[in-house]
Structure 1
Amino acid sequence: MIRTEDIYDAAIDDAAFGRLALTLADALGARSGVLHWGRTPQHIAEISYSGYFSEAQMALYDEEFQGDDLWGIALERAETVNRVWNVEALVPAPTYEASRIYNEWIRGMGDDTFHCLGGVIQKDGTTGHIGLHRGRAQQPFSEAELRAVQDSIDHIGRMFAIRSKLDRARHYGRSLHATLDMVGHAVFTLRPNGALIDCNHLADLLLRRGDALSLRQRQLKALDPRDDEALQTAFRAAAARQGGQASAIFVHRDQGLPYVLSIAALRVGMERQIVVIATDPADRDMSLASRIRALYGLTKAEADVAEALCRGQGLEELSQERGVALNTVRTQIKNIYVKLDCSRQSELVARIGALPRLGIFDETE
């Protein structure tokens, strides 16, 4: 009666999710249906609705009658979670018939919706709702129809959870791109073999410029053969390292100063990736603090503290110079250790010391 494949198609297909409420309603012989999910019981991230009521009628419900929805209130009780109910078992027909929502909203628009199968579904931190409806002149939902929906509840819950995870992933991706675009450097993320995973807006512009770097079969390459040999050697060295050590090379172009590429390998979950920060010394901040900030994701304050530690400054001196409490400096140093995958100052100094100073391009020189 209810096809499992229709439910799982809706997990990754937005159009299929939009049709799912109507698909379920048709399978049950219901007049209308609604499905929605969110990350909290009060939140609605997505809704699939059969379209029986108009948008204006649903807007009126949201504005004036949601608090009077006896069916919805009854289904929110904790003991009803992950179970489908013939809602007349929770709200007797005479009670519903005398309610404001029935007399002023349902009957007020010339409708007679009177029977409902509904439930609240919770799965992997996602809360969903299902409702299927029939009119007063239609037959009430049978026990067999209730069991058919109940048998599908686990599948619907998993579908909600998958859509929630995909939604978070999309949001994370948008946030990550927005963050990388604010860095002020071209940023590439690569697989250990040098294949491109992603890049930010400035990196895309650098590739389009075509004056020093290019993509060949998704591999990041330098146009100058000698530079490319150094670049591929740096990739192999970064991929072979166990920590977050970084190196830097120059990549020449026909006109202007060479680009400076800072290269490090980082672990993302179980996967090892190479991060390449490409900077144009003609119009970008080439200071050591700027490069380690972009390469390791440090805040400006953390990058300044890391650079000061490499110069041999102590905690008290840093506290006085920066006008902050000692505990603030200690917290910043702890954050720096986490981001650079080290546990003591000597490791920090060695790691940053592996980044070659860039001579005339480095503001600290």
Structure 2
Amino acid sequence: MDQVGRLLQEAVFDESRWPELAASIDSACELIGSQLCVVAADVDDTVPDFRFNRGLIRGEPQEDLESEYIEHYHSLDERVPRMRLMRFGRLYHNTDLLTESEQKSSPVYAGFIPRHTSNDQFNIRMPGHGGTSMFWVVAREMDRGGWSFENLKRIELLVPHVAHFVRVRQALAAADARGDALAALLDRTGLGVLHPDRHGRVLEANERARRVLAEGDCLTQRKNQLRARARHEDARLGRLLTACLDRGVGGSMALWRPGDGRADSLILHVCPVRPDWTSFDTRGVVVQVLLVEPGRTPGMDARQLAEVYDLTAAESRVALLLAEGQSVGEVAASTGRTDSTVRWHVKNLHSKLDVHRQADLVRLVLSTAAAAPTD
């Protein structure tokens, strides 16, 4: 499990490590393979909107099987609508999601899955950012007896770390910074970045992070130590930093701003940084804290966006609200429009901006906002 923990933290800033990480998890938990996907939470179950989808069997990618499933079997899969109702973080076996009759007749459970891999699977649902849900499906060889208590416990322990991996990747993708090196992230204006040392002292902060600290309404510095304003949140932040410093374990939390109706005014992703012993860096950066403000789109208003891309006022407003992390339903509620009207605007945005997925639309808006001149 030590190898799994190390790879989890490394994959946070390099998603190409996911196959190696998945193979390590397979070995530690005696699995045959797994699938990790992130989907939009407000779409028709018959038309999947995947934001990330990677299935591996014995460490090998399965693009052909993924395509076959999406094109021919997803709409027939009885588990899909039920998986959206699963409690976050809980393990559900396939047999928990299907009746005995369905287990015998399902074209997916009784046909497609065992034809290619094992249908002895557990499914886990986790909350993502921006109206998304994550699903992690793990499988073991059929006819190998029941799942051992030890392996199920290992999987349960890994769930929050896999969720953290996805949320940080989502935050970096939203800022169009997924491949950025550590130092380069400091130059990003669309994402707040802090670099504390092993004593919790803030060594570096980019402009957006410095603004958050200067406002001091939910996150601040005391004697150069990173602190949350509310006492209970400060205690949790301390535990996150301690876990990151002492055990190399990342984590996330949300902070609330007084007067803000959102419960997640500021989201912190705390990530360990492996020491670079090949350089003469004397700063001692061992932790990276990413700051995401769901309710604040960086450096651009609706009028600017409309001018840049020749959008209507309504289209630019919808685009910015989506970039702030709101779902279609939330955009409709905040603008006084119907869901169908918002979806019509989104369809027009896809056409005008030459994007095909909502995730690409959000990335384009945020990257444009990050590049916009600030006063």
TM norm structure 1: 0.43
Structure of higher RCO (CA pairs closer than 8 Å, 6+ residues apart): 2
TM norm structure 2: 0.42
> For the pair shown, which has the larger CA radius of gyration, 1 or 2?
1
